[in-house]
Amino acid sequence: MAASVAKFRIIVGALALVWVAVSWYPVAAQQPTSVDPTASAVSEQQLLQQFKTIQGRGSIPDTKSYTIEQPAGRDWRHFHEVTLRWIGAVAVLGILALLVIFYLWRGMVRIESGRSGQTIVRFNAAERFVHWMTATCFVILALSGLNITFGRALLLPLMSPVAFTAWSKWAKYAHNYLSFPFTLGVILIFFMWIAGNIPNRVDIEWFRRGGGMVGHDHPPAYRFNSGQKVIYWIVVLGGSAIAVSGYLLMFPFYGTDIQTMQSAEMAHGVIAMLFIAAMLGHIYIGTIGMEGAFEAMGAGTVDVNWAKEHHNLWLEEVRAGGQPRLAQQQPAATPGE
């Protein structure tokens, strides 16, 4: 019995030795030199050339963190620091310079036949309220917005960092909260005045005659002349674009990725600068640019001679009685009725 067990063990041992000897060659062939760990790997350069961002998979809920690199941030930085500042400076300073030159050359546009003393209602209380709500919001939005682009370069050197932060913080709150009444105002303006702002043949004539800005021409116009129609559509279309891009910025990454956010900021900035330039022109003509213009929106009534010279077709319509607002005489005291 012991002898057969011993024989069995010798046979098993010999077989094991043979097995090791035989398998030496395949084992030796599996040395590291035949395996390349980087075989299917990607490189940073390759991924950057292929895609706009390098993305992978992470393990935290914030999916924005799965992007390792987004080089577009560099382009956006250049746009915001350089391009947008140039656009803003040229647009705003340019329009201011143009207005100064125009005023020095043309002066205030007078009512040529002088004031008649009779007035007529031009804008009712609701219209004036919507205009001034939108306008006030616009001015604060414009200043707080300009602070984001130009504040650090122009204002920060004049005050302490803490003071500048306090001003910028409140400017940001104002900008975010006033966006709501401003958007509401733009929507109301759209519905309120769409009827009078559809372009028609009269506008072609008005533009052909340069709006009467040169010389003493008075091209005919309905309630809103062609220049006002341009302002109207700038406010409605520009205002809508600003509102949409603004709300995307205010509610970041709600369904948008970082490229969309960067694009929204670029659109918002460029449109804002051009909007501000347009509104500076509007403010000019409504205040010092034209005699008798401000009271239209300030008091709501205008002098009849002003209406005759600048909006004669509208004056005829009103006098014909077809409009809700009737011509109003200055209240003549009726003795003892």
Partner 1 sequence: MARMKFLCDADRCIECNACVTACKNENEVPWGINRRRVVTINDGKPGERSVSMACMHCTDAPCQAVCPVNAFYTTADGVVLHSKDICIGCGYCFYACPFGAPQYPRVGNFGSRGKMDKCTYCAGGPEPDGSMAEYEKYGANRLAEGKLPMCAEMCSTKSLLAGDGEIIAEIYKERVAKRGYGSGAWGWNTAYRETITS
Chain positions contacting partner 1, by CB under 8 A: 36-45, 47, 54-60, 62, 64-71, 73-74, 76-77, 80-81, 147-149, 151-152, 156, 161-162, 164-165, 168-169, 172-173, 176-177, 250-252, 258, 261-262, 265
Residue 214 falls in which region: left (phi positive, over 0), alpha (psi -120 to 50) or beta: beta
Locate 106 and state its tokens: 């043309």
Cβ proximity to partner 1: between 130 and 271 the closer is 271
Q: What is the 3-state secondary structure (H, E, C) of 19-37?
A: HHHHCHHHHHHCCHHHCCC
Cβ proximity to partner 1: between 245 and 305 the closer is 245
Locate 23 and state its tokens: 């398998």
Cβ proximity to partner 1: between 3 and 158 the closer is 158
User: Shortest Cβ distance from residue 92 to partner 1 (Å)?
Assistant: 17
User: Shortest Cβ distance from residue 250 to partner 1 (Å)?
Assistant: 6
User: Shortest Cβ distance from residue 173 to partner 1 (Å)?
Assistant: 7
Cβ proximity to partner 1: between 115 and 169 the closer is 169
Check: CB of residue 258 under 8 Å from CB of residue 190: no
Locate 92 and state its tokens: 């705003």
Check: CB of residue 276 under 8 Å from CB of residue 94: no
User: Shortest Cβ distance from residue 69 to partner 1 (Å)?
Assistant: 5
Cβ proximity to partner 1: between 83 and 118 the closer is 83
User: Shortest Cβ distance from residue 239 to partner 1 (Å)?
Assistant: 20
Cβ proximity to partner 1: between 88 and 281 the closer is 88
Q: Is the CA virtual torsion 178, 179, 180, 184 positive or negative?
A: positive
Please report, as a single letter, which amino acid is at residue 130: V
User: Shortest Cβ distance from residue 293 to partner 1 (Å)?
Assistant: 37
- Distance (Å, whole) CA 311 – CA 302: 11
- Distance (Å, whole) CA 100 – CA 147: 24
Edge-to-edge strand ranges of the sheet holding 301-303? 301-303, 119-121, 327-328
User: Shortest Cβ distance from residue 170 to partner 1 (Å)?
Assistant: 9
Cβ proximity to partner 1: between 60 and 332 the closer is 60
- Distance (Å, whole) CA 333 – CA 337: 9
- Distance (Å, whole) CA 167 – CA 155: 10
